[in-house]
Amino acid sequence: MTATVDARGLSCPQPVIMTLNEIETGKDKEIVVLVDTDTSKENVMRAAASQGCRVGQVTPEGEGYRIAITKG
C-alpha cells in the first residue's frame, strides 16, 4: 500500500517533519507527499534522500507537486 502525506498549505519545516515521521513510523514502503511550494518540494526531497529513501517521480499536480518516495 501507499501512504499519503498531504502537506499542502503548510510552510516549512512542517512538510519535512510530516514526511520524516511517515518514513520513521509508517509501515508503507511507498509514500506520496503532496506539497504546494518549490521550497517544500526541494526540502522534502532532500530530507527523504538523507534518510536513505529513493525519490522517484516528481510531478506537478494542481498548484503544487506530487513526490513519490520509496523507503529503503
Which residues on neighbouring strands pair with residue 67, listed in sequence order? Answer: 33, 58
Domain boundaries, the chain: 2-70
CATH class of residue range 2-70 = alpha beta
Q: Which parts of 1-72 are beta strand (E)?
A: 2-6, 30-35, 54-61, 64-70
**Total-model pTM:** 0.95
pLDDT per residue as tens digits for the range 18-62: 999 999 999 999 999 999 999 999 999 999 999 999 999 999 999
